[in-house]
Structure formats: structure tokens, C-alpha cells
Amino acid sequence: MEAILAHIAFASCAKYQRRKTQPAWKSIDLAAPDLLLLLGDNVYAHSKKWDNLDLDQRYRKQLSVQNFRTALNNLNYLATWDDHDLGPDNSMGGSDDGLKHREEARRLFLSHIGRTVKPEWNLVDDDADEIYCAADLDGTLVIVLDGRFYREPLQQNPNAELLGPKQTAWLWGQLDRALGDEFHTTLVCCGSTLNANPDLGESISHYSAFYDQFKVRFGNCPRPIFVSGDIHRNRIYHHGFCTEVVSSGVAQRRTRGDLSGKLFNKKRNLNNWGELFIHRSHVRVNLLGEDAVSHVIT
């Protein structure tokens, strides 16, 4: 059998208020991946108001969940945030309110969650105050984006920034690096999906100036896989230029309407998470929990 070069787990959306035990973290810990990716909504801030003191308490509560804490203690992990780690629903650091609160919210994220990786993975975090970073896992380049700190509302400006100029330039540099001979697989990780949420305004594709360039640059990289969260379901999307794997709802419920009109049980607890087994010739994706599905990317 072909060797596994890297085993990477991923998960998002953990609501302490809904799920006090969060058993999926135990499954993740037992699976013992080389790396865990936390893809946002690691906590749920107050849904109506910006309040960093309250947010601080919510991190403490989430970190008091034994299964979560044990997984973070035992595993190497990289983490990003999404709207609920920052403020109210769909909050953005580049909004008027966001500009006032984002520095402290990011400091809380980095101090409570942060990241832990092996030194040999050559972590690229040029600025320790930033959430975005990258690491090399034996030929897999893992790029973690911060899709919230610099994000501006599109309603006010069709040319709004998603990542901000500095992070965008950094990302293009990382994608150029992925073209080097040492890489066989490129993961770009973000809280937001590429375009799973056309009605909710959170999809990256809405930032069309960025997205048009991203499609070309990421599509040229070796085996491009986008890894995301946010939507409270597990999904695999084929975008042409890349495959997107989504796992959301590690400790949450379905709270959003299904665009296909399919009915779902809003009250059912999800224990969703995903894992990638990276081989030289292919990547096996296992999405586990309520929405279990398996797929092979070549």
C-alpha cells in the first residue's frame, strides 16, 4: 500500500452554549492526526453586540471543555477564525465596528487558541500578531488564511478587500512557493467557503477581484485543495480549478436553510469533522459525523 505522507484532520463551529461535552474532539484526538486544522467559529461571541470582555469568558468556557482541551494539548494544530470568533454574526474586521474591536479580538484568539506545530514544518508566521501562516508537511504546503481581520463589507464598496493588501501579497508569495519541486499538494484553509453560501454574503467568490486572481494562481498549484468550514454541514465541491472540502459543525446544530430546499432536523446535534490522508498519487478525504462521505482526489 502506498505510504501516507500526511494525515490532517479539520473541524469548525464549536458552540459551547449548545454542546458542553463536544465528543467529536475525542474522536479527533484518538485518530491522532499529524496536524489538526481549526477552521473558525472556535467560539461563538455574543450574537448581537461587540463585547471583548464577554468574548474572553467564552474562550475560557470553550477551553474548559475537556475533550477540546485534551485534543489541543495532544495534537499539533493550526487555527484560523471566522465571524463568530470576532463578534456578531457575519462580523468583519474592516467594518466600522470591526475597526474598533478587531485588534483586541485577534489578541484574544491568539492568546487562547494560537497554534502548535513541529519545528521541522518550517512555520511561516513572519508577523506573530497575525493569524495567517503557512507550514510544510513533507511536501504538503498548508496555507492558513485570516478571512476576517481585514475583510470589508461589500455593501458599501464593490471593491472591498477580503484579505487586505499585505496578506494578499503574502498569499501570492506562498502560492508561488507551492510551485517548487518539493511540493505535491497545496492546501489553502479559511473559515469561509469559496461559494457555498450565495445568499448569505459570506462566500469568498463575492470578492470577485480577489477571486478571479485566486482561481488562476491556486489552480496552477500542485493538487490544490481548499479546506473550509462555516456552513454546519460536511460537503465536497468540485470547482474546476480546485476541490473544496468543508467540515463544519464539530459541536453545533444545523441552523441554516438548505438552498436545495431539502428539509433537515434543526435540533439534531452534529459531530462533524474531516480528515485527509495525503499520498503521493492521491488524497483520500473522509468526512465523518452526521454527514459522512468519502472521496478520493487525484
State which of positions 63-92 bind Fe ion (CB under 5 A). Answer: none
The CA-CA-CA angle for residues 118, 122, 126, to 5°, reads 115
CB of 284 to Fe ion, least distance (A): 26
User: Using an 8 Å Cβ cutoff, are 245 and 276 in contact?
Assistant: yes
When the beta carbons of 41 and 290 are compared against Fe ion, the nearer one is: 41
Residue from 8, 9, 11, 13 touching Fe ion (CB under 5 A): that is 13
If the CB atoms of residues 89 and 127 are measured against Fe ion, the closer one turns out to be 89
User: What are the angstrom distances between the C-alpha of 152 and each of 95, 134, 166, 245?
Assistant: 6, 23, 14, 25
Q: Which stretch binds Fe ion (CB under 5 A): 37-45, 110-118, 130-138, 140-148?
A: 37-45
Candidates 10-18, 108-116, 151-159, 233-241 — which segment interacts with Fe ion by CB under 5 A? 10-18
| CB of residue 14 to Fe ion, shortest distance in Å | 9
The CA distance from 106 to 211, in Å, is: 25
Q: How far is the CB of 254 from Fe ion (least distance, A)?
A: 10
C-beta closer to Fe ion: residue 29 or 41: 41
For residue 12, the minimal CB distance to Fe ion (Å) is 7
Interface stretch with Fe ion, choices 34-42, 147-155, 197-205, 258-266 (CB under 5 A): 34-42
Q: In this complex, which beta carbon is closest to Fe ion, that of residue 76 or of residue 90?
A: 90
In angstroms, what is the minimal distance from the CB of 296 to Fe ion? 28
| Stretch of 8-16, 109-117, 164-172, 204-212 contacting Fe ion, by CB under 5 A | 8-16
- In the complex, minimum distance from the CB of residue 37 to Fe ion, in angstroms, rounded to a whole number: 15
User: Which among 56, 48, 62, 53 has a CA at the least distance from the CA of 90?
Assistant: 48
CB–CB of 243/254 below 8 Å? no
CB atoms within 10 A of CB 182: 11
Residue 13: CB minimum distance to Fe ion, A: 4
Q: Does 41 bind Fe ion (CB under 5 A)?
A: yes
User: In the complex with Fe ion, which residue's Cβ is closer, 41 or 136?
Assistant: 41
Q: Compute the least distance from the CB of residue 232 to Fe ion, in Å.
A: 6
Choices 12-20, 21-29, 94-102, 235-243 (CB under 5 A): range interacting with Fe ion: 12-20
Give yes or no for a contact between 48 and 6, defined as CB atoms under 8 angstroms apart.
no
DSSP string, 33-102: -SEEEEES-SS---SSS--HHHHHHHHHHHHT-HHHHHHHHHS-EEEE--HHHHSSTT--TTSHHHHHHH
Of 155-174, binders to Fe ion (CB under 5 A) are: none
H or E segment at 137?
strand 133-137
Q: Which range touches Fe ion (CB under 5 A), out of 16-24, 36-44, 113-121, 168-176? A: 36-44
Size of the site for Fe ion (CB under 5 A): 2
Cα separation, 120 vs 142, whole angstroms: 14
How many C-beta neighbours within 10 Å does residue 236 have? 16
In 10 A of CB 112, how many CB atoms? 18
> 13 or 117: whose CB is closer to Fe ion?
13
Q: Do the strands 293-297 and 283-288 form a parallel or antiparallel pair, or are they unpaired?
A: antiparallel
Sites of contact with Fe ion (CB under 5 A): 13, 41
